[in-house]
């Protein structure tokens, strides 16, 4: 069964600094991987996803993530943080079967310091 671990429930970075949010998954085969973002008082929206192909995935708002099979990781990065990036970020994983459901991590709240 798939599972996902997000390291750090809260992360603070200064405006303009690199954003790095960590996600590790547990799966016997390379799964499908997702990052979702939740802005205050809103539902979640998809940032990016990896299903097959290129391991470096670019998403919206300047975010990207790299699938590293050897490290079972799918960390989310952004070169320069903006105040508007303050939100909660969820890593998610699913298996290869069409009936597999998407499993979410517990979330990381990103704080941007002025």
Partner 1 sequence: DVKVTQSSRYLVKRTGEKVFLECVQDMDHENMFWYRQDPGLGLRLIYFSYDVKMKEKGDIPEGYSVSREKKERFSLILESASTNQTSMYLCASSLSGTGLNTGELFFGEGSRLTVL
**Residue 80 engages partner 1 in binding (rule: CB under 8 A):** no
* Interface residue with partner 1, options 58, 68, 82, 101 (CB under 8 A): 101
Q: Which is nearer to partner 1, 17 or 104 (CB)?
A: 104
**Residue 96 engages partner 1 in binding (rule: CB under 8 A):** yes
Residue 91, both tokens = 């890593």
* Interface residue with partner 1, options 53, 83, 84, 98 (CB under 8 A): 98
Distance of CA 21 to the CA centre of its chain: 7
In the chain, how many H helices and how many E strands? 0, 11
Cα 53 from Cα 47, distance rounded (Å): 17
Smallest gap from Cβ 54 to partner 1, in A, equals 16
Cα 82 from Cα 50, distance rounded (Å): 24
Show contacts with partner 1 in window 15-54 (CB under 8 A).
32, 36, 41-46, 49, 51
């Amino acid at each position: 069964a798939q599972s996902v671990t997000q390291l750090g429930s809260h992360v603070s970075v200064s405006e303009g600094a690199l954003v790095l949010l960590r996600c590790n998954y547990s799966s016997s085969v390379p799964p499908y991987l997702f990052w979702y973002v939740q802005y205050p008082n809103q539902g979640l929206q998809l940032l990016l996803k990896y299903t097959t192909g290129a391991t470096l995935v670019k998403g919206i708002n300047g975010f990207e993530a790299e699938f590293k099979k050897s490290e079972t990781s799918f960390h989310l990065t952004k070169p320069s943080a903006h105040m508007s990036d303050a939100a909660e970020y969820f890593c998610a994983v699913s298996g290869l079967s069409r009936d597999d459901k998407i499993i979410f991590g517990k979330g990381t709240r990103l704080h941007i310091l002025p």
